[in-house]
Each structure stands twice: as structure tokens, then as C-alpha cells.
Chains A and B, each alone.
Chain A
Amino acid sequence: MKELVVISGKGGTGKTSLLAAFASLAKGKALCDADVDAADLHLIMDPRVEERHDFESGHEAVIIRDMCTQCGLCRELCRWNAINEDFIVDPIVCEGCGVCHYFCPEKAIEFPLKTCGEWYLSETRFGPMAHARLGIAEENSGKLVSLIRKEGKKLAEKKNLDLLLTDGPPGIGCPVIASLGGATATLIVAEPTVSGKHDMERVAELAAFFKVPAMVCVNKFDLNPDMGQAIEAFARERNVAVMGRIPFDPVFTKAMVQGKTIFEFDDHSEGSRAVKDIWEKIVTAQLNRL
């Protein structure tokens, strides 16, 4: 099975709208939303949840007041200053390292497993979908990303589908690293701005670092054609395949407002035509060869 992960570096370049549009076009695929701390794909896919699971990961320290003698060792050892003067652990600051729990001479610190989110297996009008929700202010997003991609692949296999389309998170940190490992290829959605170029360069470097074949397309190309061309030139230099240009087209926002893909909203718009060409190129020039 092949997996295409859509990433961007910079947020808000159009990853999710584009992935939803690809879902309209691709045959025999499952979908995966790996942007677990600000998941949006479900707003267009309108999934019917068939399975719901808790995401348990990591532990947090809890001090049992009656057993605590306030010796202060835990406060001394904690490198995050997560334990205050009243010997209460701030769950938001606690890193879950367990050092306080291990060394407490009174065994007064419990270290329970945390539930940090939920994940779902669903059915949509475009096929099955694996998606997740990290609890607000929670950690371990990388682990949830790895889990949901694995579940997405299992789901696709079970239904005899040979492509997984994964919507990745922005940035270059832990969730992005977790969304790239073992992917067949990644598509970077860039925008022709100084920041879009800067962020695309960093995320392209990250893909190269993890040896994932990368492609790029430039969204809202006409906003700054010179910058768009500069992005394409950088891509060619770094062996990142250039897949095409998408014009600035309000159809993306209008479709999103109605919970539709751009093809469901307006099959003939300029944006729709450009996305169709790009998808064909991704399949014939890249995915089929990898």
C-alpha cells in the first residue's frame, strides 16, 4: 500500500482543502487526518464514526497529600518546576518523566496512565477514514500521529484499498516527524510568500533528512508569481518534484463553508481544473513509480 502525506511547513496554505479535493478524485483510497491537535478534515468529510477509542499515552504525577511529608525531594528533582510549594503537581507542566514518583521516600506520588485524546474509525462518502482528537493542552501528539497512521493503513488493508491519503500537521517538529516516517511520498503545499517559501524550505529539508520523496505545489500562485517561481526553482535544485500551480480562487473558502470539496461545489472553477491536473501528475509521474 502507498501513503501520500500532505504537509506544508507553514499553516493555512491549503493542505486540508487540497487533500479533501484529492479524496474526490482518487480511486480506491482511505483517508487519514494526522493533524491531531487541530483536526479539520472531518468538517468536509462528515464522517460517520463506527469505532471510538481512547488514546492513552504517558503518565502524570499525582501527590497523595496524606502520605506526603513535604520533604521537598520531588521539588528538588523536578526539572520542570511542576510541583508548587504546597506540593501540588501542575498537570500542564508535568512532563511525565516519573522521577518524583521513583524517588519519593514515602511512596506518596502516584503515576497513573493518562488519557490524552480519542481516535476514530469512520466511514465517509469518499471511503473509510481514520482520525483523532488530541485532548486540549495535551502532550504526545507524535505518538497519536503514529497511531492514527497505523490504524489508517490497517483500515485500508482491511477494505482492500491500496492508497492512504494523510493530512499532515504544520511545522517541522514532533507531529510532522511522526507523520513522515515510512510514508511513500509527501506533497508540500506551499504559498508564494516570503514566509511560505521559508517554511517550505525547512520542511523540504526535513523530508530529505528522513529520506521521504517530496513533491511541491504552489497554492495561490498569482498572489506573487515571482515568489512562486522562486519556490519552484528551489524545489528543482533539491530534487523536489514540482507538481503545478493553483490560482488564488475563492472557491476553496466557499466550498469549505458548505462542507464540500471544491469539485462538489464547482467542478469547473479555475481552482478545480488546476487541482485535477496536479492530482493526475502526482499519480502518473510519482505515486505509480514509487
Chain B
Amino acid sequence: MIISIASGKGGTGKTTVATNMAVSLGGDVQLLDCDVEEPNAYLFIHPVINEVKTITTPVPEVDMEKCNLCGKCGEICQFKAIVVIGKTVLPFPEMCHSCGGCMEVCPEKAITETGRELGVIERGRRNGLEFVHGKLRVGEAMSPPLIRKVREYARPDMLTIIDAPPGTSCPVIASMKGADFVLLVTEPTPFGLNDLKLAVGAVNILGIPCGLVINRSDMGDDKVKIYAEKENLPILMEIPFDRKIAEAYSRGEMIVEVMPEWKEKFLKLYHQIEEISFHKNH
């Protein structure tokens, strides 16, 4: 089973929920941090990293000996990543989406592919928990291809928990697509609600069952709850604001480490998710 933890708004507590749930469950669990722009889960999990891999995406390289300047590569490219200027062909690797169109269309077979570095994937363990995350190279614009590479580590025989990035556009879709359940972490504020509605819209487009965790549940107003009821979204957990939790977080400590009684609550959260997805599938 794959559970993707998303939010719309940033800073609502995705990583808190993902790490605490993963650690509470203990063994046979994978945590994939797909927030590759700002991966934070490892700051709480402290995994022992035993594999580091540089990830690249294919971009064109032109052999000017073979090129006859026909311009077909520039014509097919939708991303302005390769252009013929005067007597030369200029690839702009940073703009390239790696579709392979230019290579395919070139009648002289003058284009081959080389790699543009997207970032790294690091893999490690914390006791029974398997940990994988991607770290986007600073300056690299495209996170979805790296996110998809992180997701290739998902193992069907295990529970996979995905920590998704904020927002509702392509990186979030790449982190939710194909999940069995999406857990949306929100906060009861106007910003939280506005972005929650967008996130629910994205989950609905993908047709995945979802539920809510309301973080800092006593800090704003009751509009998130009213919305959840209206939309029939189950509220699976509420985490009240507690300065002790916030301070522990600031030091890189998980809730279950400073308040072990929360372990039961995170286990219960998981079992509720298991039950909901079981009913949806049978």
C-alpha cells in the first residue's frame, strides 16, 4: 500500500505526520521523501545512509560534423531547448524536458543524448524503516523527473509512506499519482482551508480516497471542519497546538520521541487509513 501525505499549503505538518507514522509503525515500512526541493524528513529520521546516487535526465548533444543545419530539431522542440542559430545548433539543456524528439527527428543522426544532473537520491535505514529521498540540485528547475525516480524505490511488498511537496501542480501530482490513499494535512486557518480545497481538487482528479489530519487544531476557526463535513472527508487525527511539540520539532525531534503516548495515535491513524482503503477496494 502507498500512502501519500500532501497538503496544498506548506508548513502544515506533512513531514511531522509522515515521520511519526513511519517510526511508530516500525518494520516493513518505507518512507520516501518526495519533497525533493526541500527534503526535510531525514532531519527527523536521522537515517544511516548507505547508498548515494546521482540522477540525470537525458539532454541532446549535437555532432556538428554530421549536422546539416536543417532545423528540424528546433522545429519539433516545444520547450525552446534547441535552436539553430546561423551555422551552429545551440542546445539549452536547462530547458530540455528529455522527450527525445530532436534525436528522433534528426535525419543525419547527429544528435545523441548526454545527461543533465537533476540531483541525488540517498537511501538508508533507521532500524526496520527503509528511507529514500531525492535532493534536487540547487539551480535545477524540474523536480518531477527526480520525484518519479524516488518513487521507483517503492516496493510492493511493503507499506510505502510518501512525504509530498506543497502546492497542487506537477510535483505534487507526481508524488500522489498511483497512491492508494492520500492523507491531507491541513490547519484550521483561511490559508489552510483555501489550499486544502485545491489539494482535494487534485486528489479528486486522480480519483484517490483521502482523509484529513488537522494540525494546530485549536489555533484558527472551525471552517475546515465545516468543509470536511460538507465534502464527506473523514478527519482522522487532530493535533492541538502544543509549544512542546513545536519546540521539539525545531530541534529535529519527533512527537513520538518527546511524548511516547502519541505512538498509539499514529498507529490508530494508520489503521483507519488501512480500513478506509480496504473498504474502497472491496
Interface residues of A (CB under 8 A from B): 8-13, 16, 37-38, 40, 43, 58-59, 77, 79, 92-93, 95-99, 102-103, 134, 136-139, 141-142, 169-177, 191-196, 198-199, 202, 205-206, 209, 223-224, 227, 250, 253, 256-257, 259
Choose from B10, B143, B250 the contact partner of A192 (Cβ within 8 Å). Answer: B250
B126 CB → nearest A CB, Å: 16
A40 adjacent to B9 (CB under 8 Å): yes
Q: What is the distance, in angstroms, from A19's C-beta to the closest C-beta of chain B?
A: 12
Identity of the chain A residue whose Cβ is nearest the Cβ of B171 in the assembled complex: A173
Is B138's CB under 8 angstroms from A202's CB? yes
Q: What is the minimal beta-carbon distance from B152 to any residue of chain A, in angstroms?
A: 13
The CA of A96 and the CA of B98, in the complex, are separated in Å by 12
Known pairs A13-B11, A40-B9, A92-B177; A97 contacts B97 (CB<8 A): yes
Asked whether A95 lies within 8 Å of B139 as measured between CB atoms, the reply is: no
**Chain B interface mostly helix, strand, loop or mixed?**
loop
Closest 8 CB pairs of A and B: A11-B10, A12-B11, A97-B99, A171-B37, A224-B250, A195-B40, A174-B141, A194-B252
Task: State whether the Cβ of B258 lies closer than 8 Å to any Cβ in chain A.
Answer: no
- Which of A142, A176, A193, A256 is close to B250, meaning CB atoms less than 8 Å apart? A193
Q: Which residues of B contact A256 (CB under 8 A)?
A: 189-191, 220
Q: Which residues of chain A are near B171, meaning CB under 8 Å?
A: 171, 173
Out of A37, A59, A171, name the residue touching B78 (CB < 8 Å).
A59
B201: which A residues are within 8 A, CB to CB? 136-137
A95–B97 Cα distance when bound, in Å, is 8
Is A253 in contact with B43, judged by CB distance below 8 angstroms? no
**Cβ contacts under 8 Å, B140 to chain A:** 173
Contact A137 B173 (CB under 8 A): yes
Question: Chain B nearest CB: distance from A120 CB in Å?
Answer: 15
Asked if B191 and A43 make an inter-chain contact with CB atoms under 8 angstroms apart, the answer reads: yes
How many Å from the CB of B135 to the closest CB on chain A? 9
Among B37, B79, B139, B206, max chain A CB count under 10 A is at: B37
Also in contact, A141 and B78, with CB within 8 A (given A173-B142, A205-B138): no
Task: Say yes or no: A257 contacts B220, CB within 8 Å.
Answer: yes
Question: In the docked arrangement, what's the CA distance between A195 and B253, Å?
Answer: 11
**Given A202-B38, A202-B138, A253-B220, A12 contacting B12 (CB threshold 8 A):** yes
Contact string against A for B residues 164-207, beta-carbon threshold 8 Å, 1 for contact and 0 otherwise: 01111111110001000000000001110011001001100110
Distance in angstroms from B139 CB to nearest chain A CB is: 5
Instruction: Provide the residues of chain A in CB contact with B139, threshold 8 Å.
Output: 177, 206, 209
Task: Kindly provide the distance from the CB of A261 to the nearest chain B CB, expressed in whole angstroms.
Answer: 13
Q: A97 and B37: CB pair below 8 A?
A: no
A136 engages B168 (CB within 8 Å): yes
Residues of chain B touching chain A, judged by Cβ–Cβ distance below 8 Å, are 8-12, 15, 37-38, 40, 43-44, 76, 78-79, 97-101, 104-105, 136, 138-143, 165-173, 177, 189-191, 194-195, 198, 201-202, 205-206, 219-221, 243, 246-247, 249-252
Q: Which residue of B lies closest to A43 (CB)?
A: B190
Closest to A207 in B: B138
Evaluate contact between A170 and B136: CB separation under 8 angstroms.
no
Q: How far is the CA of A238 from the CA of B38 in the complex (A)?
A: 19
Q: Which residues from chain A contact B97 at a C-beta distance below 8 Å?
A: 95, 97
What's the Cα separation between A142 and B143 when bound, in Å? 12
**Contact at A173–B136, with CB atoms within 8 Å?**
yes
Instruction: Please judge, given known A-B contacts A98-B101, A134-B169, whether A173 and B194 are in contact too, CB under 8 Å.
Output: no
Check if A170 sits within 8 Å of B40, measured CB to CB. no
- Beta-carbon contact of A102 and B76 below 8 Å: yes
Who on chain A is nearest to B105 by CB?
A: A102
CB distance from A96 to the nearest CB of B (A): 6
* Closest B residue to A97 using CB positions: B99
B10 / chain A contacts, CB cutoff of 8 Å: 8, 10-12, 38, 170
Cβ–Cβ contact A99 & B104, under 8 A: yes
Q: Which of B9, B101, B189, B205 contacts A38 (CB 8 A)?
A: B9
Task: Give the chain B neighbours of A223 by CB distance below 8 A.
Answer: 243, 246-247, 250
- Known contacts A43-B190, A103-B104: A199-B136 contact under CB 8 Å: no
CA–CA, A41 and B242, complex, Å: 27
Which chain B residues lie closer than 8 Å to A172 at the CB level? 37-38, 136, 138
Please judge, given known A-B contacts A97-B101, A173-B140, A224-B250, whether A40 and B194 are in contact too, CB under 8 Å. Answer: yes
